[in-house]
Amino acid sequence: FIHYILNRCLFNSSDLKDIENIYSYYYNKEEFLRFSSSSGKFVGYTELGVKTAERANNDPEQMSSRRAEKETICKPNIDGDYSTILTKSVQPRVRVQSLEPSGGNHPAMLICSIYDFYPKKIKVSWLQDQEEVSSDVTSTAEMEDGDWFYQIHSYLEYTPRILYLSQEENSLQQSSSSTFYSQINKRGRNALLYAAKSAVFEVVMCTRMINV
């Protein structure tokens, strides 16, 4: 039998109104007592927990101490998380390459891969003539690398003789770019594959334009 206490700080921002402190008591893997800053009192989940909650709720000193922990414990730690981790971002690496499709309705495929980005939230889309393409597109979910970074991959099946552009756009920082060439045209012409990278990566667009 193991008895332990779990103190959690749940939050959506660093404002006190968006913080909840939950103090849980466990015995033999079962939570039998909880204090929540949202309700401001203890709640019991077992016979022992109900009795303990009743005593604790009638103890002014203990209640005052628990109610203060949202501000004295949660708030300083959350402020530290925002200043050191949660407001930080890591510039992704973007790579576009052609693949041989295993099946489908088109003879060629492009993959737009975005690596080593943080935080997790990101949107990847393919555009043709500035309009989003939804057909013949498949994407993975954001995948954890195990070191705080994420990666995601988007695939587009296509018919050659078209210029494809992989572009990452945002309104916060200026983009930088790199280019490379790949033979993806049946006629043997080079098609330009362009990847734009930026430190802010909420939106990544893999764009297709007609090659005239």
Instruction: Give pTM, 2 decimals.
Output: 0.54
- Looking at residue 206, its pLDDT comes to 62
Q: Which residues contact 186 (CB under 8 A, 6 or more apart)?
A: 160, 161
Q: Which pair of tokens denotes residue 87?
A: 């407001």
- 144: amino acid identity, one letter: E
Tell me the CA end-to-end span of the chain in Å, nearest whole number.
Answer: 74
CATH number for the domain harbouring residue 55: 3.10.320.10
- Looking at residue 71, its pLDDT comes to 95
- Looking at residue 175, its pLDDT comes to 41
Could you tell me if 97 and 82 lie in one domain?
no
Q: Mark which of 41, 61, 86 sits at the end of a domain.
A: 86
Could you tell me if 188 and 133 lie in one domain?
yes
Please give the residue range of the domain that contains residue 58.
3-86
Q: Which of 165, 171, 172 is nearest to 196 (CA)?
A: 165
What separation in angstroms does the CA of 140 have from each of 39, 40, 150, 151, 162?
40, 43, 12, 9, 24
Q: Mark which of 86, 106, 133 sits at the end of a domain.
A: 86
Residues 50-103: tens digit of each pLDDT: 999 999 999 999 999 999 999 999 999 999 988 888 888 888 888 888 888 777
- Tally of structural domains, the chain: 2
User: In this structure, how many other beta carbons lie within 10 angstroms of the beta carbon of residue 53?
Assistant: 20
- Looking at residue 105, its pLDDT comes to 77
pLDDT by residue, tens only, the chain of 212 residues:
689 999 999 999 999 999 999 999 999 999 999 999 999 999 999 999 999 999 999 999 999 999 999 999 999 999 998 888 888 888 888 888 888 877 777 788 889 999 998 888 888 888 777 778 888 888 888 899 888 899 999 998 887 654 555 555 443 344 433 333 333 333 333 333 333 333 233 455 665 443 43
Could you tell me if 49 and 109 lie in one domain?
no
Could you tell me if 140 and 204 lie in one domain?
yes
